[in-house]
């Protein structure tokens, strides 16, 4: 949730107006600025929902990834690929989860150089509890209807595809 007083105008509209006085591509600038601002707002709300569970959204995503894996464990490198984060970020996330006894590191049985992160029973239980809170909050997107959510996902798919996301 934003802090402080609300502005009497939309700052992104104003930025687009000023942008248009200097440069082209106003619709693209407006869209990307709106997208990035919404991402900041949503992550802030999701982190606030997860804070009582001792999680951030990034750590929650890592736990869910492990829950979804067939063995409840993945190499750290594979986690980084799937979460699309830098290897040092995965190491930090797993370290925090390990400190909270939500995951444990295990040597990879087939690759002596690799380390697996394995979710614990405590981690699985926390995912269930935290997920209930996220679902109840509608993932901080309650201002949108179900059809708007589907339209948003559909609208963003070509951007993700063009960027090589899948």
pLDDT tens per residue, range 106-140: 998 888 888 999 999 999 999 999 999 999 999 99
Residues of the chain with CATH 1.10.10.10: 54-137
Rounded Cα gap, residues 98 and 123, in angstroms: 10
Confidence of residue 5 (pLDDT cuts 50, 70, 90): confident
8 A C-beta contact, residue 64 and residue 57: no
- Res 2: pLDDT: 56
pLDDT digits (tens, 9 = 90+) for 68-93: 999 999 999 999 999 999 999 999 99
Q: What is the DSSP string of 31-64?
A: HHHHHHHHHHHHHHHHHHHHGGGT--HHHHHHHH
Report domain 54-137's class.
Answer: mainly alpha
Identify whether the C-beta of residue 59 lies closer than 8 Å to the C-beta of residue 96.
yes
Which residue's entry shows tokens 């990879």? 108
Q: The whole model's pTM is what?
A: 0.91
Spatial CA neighbour of 73 closest among 126, 128, 132, 123: 123
């Amino acid at each position: 949730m934003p802090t402080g007083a609300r502005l009497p105008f939309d700052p992104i509209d104003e930025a687009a107006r000023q942008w248009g006085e200097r440069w082209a591509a106003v619709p693209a600038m407006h869209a990307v600025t709106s997208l990035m601002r919404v991402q900041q707002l949503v992550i802030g709300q999701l982190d606030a929902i997860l804070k009582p569970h001792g999680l951030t959204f990034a750590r929650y995503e890592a736990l869910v990834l492990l829950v979804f894996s067939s063995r409840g464990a993945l190499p750290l490198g594979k986690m980084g690929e799937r979460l699309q984060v830098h290897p040092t970020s995965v190491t930090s996330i797993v370290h925090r989860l390990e400190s909270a006894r939500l995951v444990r590191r295990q040597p990879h049985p087939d690759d002596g150089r690799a380390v697996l992160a394995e979710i614990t029973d405590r981690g699985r239980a926390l995912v269930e509890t935290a997920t209930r809170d996220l679902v109840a909050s509608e993932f901080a997107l309650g201002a949108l209807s179900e059809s708007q959510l589907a339209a948003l996902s559909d609208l963003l798919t070509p951007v993700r595809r063009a960027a090589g996301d899948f």
